[in-house]
Structure 1
Amino acid sequence: MKMINAALLGSALAFSALAMADDYAIDTKGAHASINFKINHLGYSWVIGRFDSFKGSFSYDGDAPAAFRVTIDTASVNSNHAERDKHIRSEDLLEVNRYPEAKFTSTAYTAKDAQSGVLHGDFTLRGVTKPIAIEVQKIGEGQDPWGGYRVGFEGSTTLKMKEFGIPMDLGPQSAEVQLDLHVEGVRL
Structure 2
Amino acid sequence: MLKKTLAALALGTALLTAGQAMAADYTIDKEGNHAFINFKISHLGYSFIYGTFKDWTGTFSFDAAKPEDSKISITLNTKSVDTNHAERDKHIQSKDFLETDKYPTATFVSTSVKPTGKNADGKLTADVTGDLTLHGVTKPVVVKTVFLGEGKDPWGGYRAGFEGTTTIKRSDFGKMMDLGPQSDTLTLDITFEGVQKK
Q: Same fold (TM over 0.5)?
A: yes
- In structure 1, stretches of 5+ residues that fail to align are 1-12
Q: CA RMSD in A?
A: 1.7
* Residue 175 of structure 1: how far off its partner (Å): 0.7
C-alpha separation between the residues in 1 aligned to 2:20 and 2:59? 15
Q: Which residue of 2 aligns with 1:52?
A: 54
AA at the equivalent of 1:59? S
Within the candidate set 149, 159, 162, 2:168 is matched to: 159
Provide structure 2 residue ranges, at least 5 long, that are not aligned to the other structure: 1-14, 119-123
SS in 1 for 2:117: coil
Match of 1:107 in 2: 111
Q: What are the equivalent positions in structure 2 for 1:140-159 lying under 5 Å apart?
A: 140-159=149-168
In the superposition, relative to structure 1, how do residues 85 and 110 fare at CA in structure 2: closer, same or farther (>3 Å)? same
Which is greater in Rg? 2
1:88 lines up with 2:97 in the alignment: no
2:41 alignment counterpart: 39
TM-superposed deviation, 1:20: 3.0
- 1:131 and 1:31 map into 2 onto residues whose CA distance is 28
Distance in 2 (CA, whole Å) between partners of 1:71 and 1:59 is 16
**What is the rounded CA distance, in whole Å, between the counterparts of 1:166 and 1:125 in structure 2?**
11
CA contact (8 A) 1:34 1:183 kept: yes
Distance 2:83 2:17 in 1: 43
Q: 1:10 — aligned with what?
A: none
Q: 1:118 aligns with which of 127, 142, 155?
A: 127
Out of 115, 130, 148, the position equivalent to 1:139 is 148
Moved more, 64-73 or 89-98: 64-73
Q: After superposition, what is the alpha-carbon deviation per residue over 1:50-107, rounded to whole angstroms, capped at 9, x for unaligned? A: 0000000000011327220000000000000000000000011100000000000000
2:192 maps to amino acid: V
Note closer, same or farther for the CA distance 1:146–1:95 as it changes in structure 2 (3 Å cut). same
AA partner of residue 91 (structure 2): H
Distance in 2 between residues matched to 1:17 and 1:49, nearest whole Å? 41
Deviation at 1:140, TM superposition (A): 1.2
Give the deviation of 1:167 after TM superposition: 1.8
Q: Mean Cα displacement is larger for which, 167-176 or 14-23?
A: 14-23
Q: 1:178 aligns with which of 177, 187, 190?
A: 187
Q: Aligned pair count?
A: 176
The aligned amino acid for 1:71 is: T
